[in-house]
Structure 1
Amino acid sequence: MGLVEIIGGSVTAPGSTETALTPFTGQTFQVRDFKGSEKAKLLATWNFVQGTGISKFRSARLHDNVQNFRIRTIANAVFPTFLGSDGQTLVTNDLLLPTLSGSATAGDIEQAYYLVYYSSLEGVNSRFTHYNSISRRIKNLLTVEVSLTAGTTGGFSGTKNIVADYDLLKSGTDYAVLGYRSSVLQGAISLYGIDTGNLKTGGPGSLASSFDTSNWFKQLSLSFDIDCVPILNSNNKTSIYVETSNNENAASPIVTLFLAELY
């Protein structure tokens, strides 16, 4: 059973200098240790910047350790760049070296995000599945709103359990998370808890008018043919959390989770 993890990093007022990112608290740019025939792939990357610049990641185990994957960023626009239809293969324990340039205004926090798929991780007990394995098990569709208060220092913040605002999930029931939406532009939205192996999963905090994420996990699963749709059990509802990633401007979002009740 696979899993998808979101990793983020930030730098403050880098200007035109391509500056090494500092990973968010509790995270690392080192690929997790995986064994034997298991695999890891970088599926997508995106940025949340206030000034245009360059976003780049490289490593000694990728194509080259000089430029490798280098793209121009767009200020105040959050949308993913997908790495082909199969993702970029990663090597166990390799250290990715991401850099970012952007705004030179004092205090401006510029951020980049990376979505990594693992086919399996030893010691991580998570519940991700392929959309095709649940498509005929869908009984009802529903949404759950969670109102978050964003922090001002970058990284992930606003942690709140998924039923803090509306506790309407049925007892002892499995729900698939098909996607989500944010009411205001964010760097990323993350979800974590018992059913994700306590690893953060998620995606870009785009506005639906520019990039709709209401079927984010469903589309990832179908596009890359992977197990990446989170399955949550309602008995764990107070131990499953939603977070946002914002910059110093702290625009607080209402996050809408798009769920499917399963038979």
Structure 2
Amino acid sequence: MGRILDTVTGFVTAPGATFTAWTLATGDSLAVRAATPASNIWLIGAWAWNQVAGVMRVRSPRLHDNVQGIRMRTPVNLVQNKIPMRLTRGAAQKLFTQDTLIVEQTGSAVGGQIETGSLLIWYDDVPGVAGRFIDQATLQKNGVNIMEQEVTVTTGVAGGYSGGVAINSQAGTDNWKANTDYALVGGVTDSRLATITVKGVDTGNVRVSFPGELTEPDESINWFPSISAAAGLPMIPVLNSQNKGAITVEGVSQQVGVTAVITLALVELAQGSVPGAPLPAAQPGV
């Protein structure tokens, strides 16, 4: 099955109190991907980094309503997931193939200031695209050793994804074991970012991501097992060391460049221990 976790990122410039539609990061689209008919698509995460308190909203005629939709307050300098799915079995938002979402933000009215955010979307089956994922039970059964990988990302000043570096690029830290699978469980950063992304062949060449909140490392370090357990879906990415030079880590920032040392938390997996996990037919976690 073509399972993927996909990130969509956008930003607005000096919106003030006016809801302003996202300018999308290069390569991203708010059109829900074409998926296999009857397969499930879930909005798992939505977060924003605002310089002035505001609102982010996601709407579509296919959601609850096309007026406010999912309306989320965005405090100043606090990047938190607003979809109730992380620690407990909440309720993800079902999305529909080829529907086009509308995402808008309010915030700072100061000229040039960027307010930004990201969505994280799970697809059961997208033809031609396939990431490698496990669930929490598989991680617990087959985890061998914890490894933490540092990378340094320096973002640009124009919004969107930037600062991309290989996951093994930090001098003196490339200790990956040859031809070995690693579960990506999350990460922490020493400087705030809106979003931290990881992309490579093992993720289906789309970006998996988590919020880059500096003050809540307990959330980000356990990000993927948390959303996987809450959703009852295999959402923990698996990366193979053979691909490390082509696995890219990027950051999303505002109008000021940020140099962030990101520590990614990985778990070495027992050889040959990455089976698929069953998918529920209805609401995740039910």
Q: TM-score, normalised by structure 1?
A: 0.97
Q: Aligned pairs, how many?
A: 263
- Amino acid in structure 2 at the alignment position of 1:153: A
Give the RMSD, CA atoms, in angstroms.
Answer: 1.3
Match of 1:137 among 119, 142, 161: 142
**Contact 1:18 1:99 survives alignment (8 Å):** yes
SS for the counterpart of 2:224 is: helix
1:37 aligns with 2:38: yes
SS for the counterpart of 1:134 is: helix
Query: Shift in Å at residue 230 of structure 1?
Result: 0.7
Query: Shift in Å at residue 130 of structure 1?
Result: 1.2
Q: Distance in 2 between matches of 1:179 and 1:73?
A: 22
- Amino acid in structure 2 at the alignment position of 1:122: P
Unmatched 5+ stretches in structure 2:
271-286
Match of 1:228 among 231, 235, 253: 235
Query: Shift in Å at residue 208 of structure 1?
Result: 4.2
1:89 aligns with 2:70: no
Q: Distance in 2 between matches of 1:116 and 1:239?
A: 23
Query: Shift in Å at residue 5 of structure 1?
Result: 1.2
**Contact 1:6 1:203 survives alignment (8 Å):** no
Aligned to 1:106: 111
Superposed CA offset, 1:88-132 (max 9, x none)? 000110000111110000110111211111112110021112121
Moved over 6 A (4+): none
SS for the counterpart of 1:103 is: coil
Query: Shift in Å at residue 74 of structure 1?
Result: 0.6
**Contact 2:156 2:253 survives alignment (8 Å):** yes
Superposed CA offset, 1:59-90 (max 9, x none)? 01111111111122211111111245231000
1:153 aligns with 2:154: no
**Contact 1:9 1:24 survives alignment (8 Å):** yes
Q: Distance in 2 between matches of 1:136 and 1:48?
A: 36
Aligned to 2:131: 126
Q: TM-score, normalised by structure 2?
A: 0.89
- Amino acid in structure 2 at the alignment position of 1:255: I
Query: Shift in Å at residue 207 of structure 1?
Result: 1.4
Aligned to 2:206: 199
Q: Give runs of aligned pairs for residues 67-86 of structure 1, distance below 5 A.
A: 67-83=68-84, 85-86=90-91
Q: Give runs of aligned pairs for residues 31-70 of structure 1, distance below 5 A.
A: 31-70=32-71
**Contact 1:42 1:83 survives alignment (8 Å):** no
Query: Shift in Å at residue 167 of structure 1?
Result: 1.2
Q: Distance in 1 between matches of 2:117 and 2:266?
A: 27
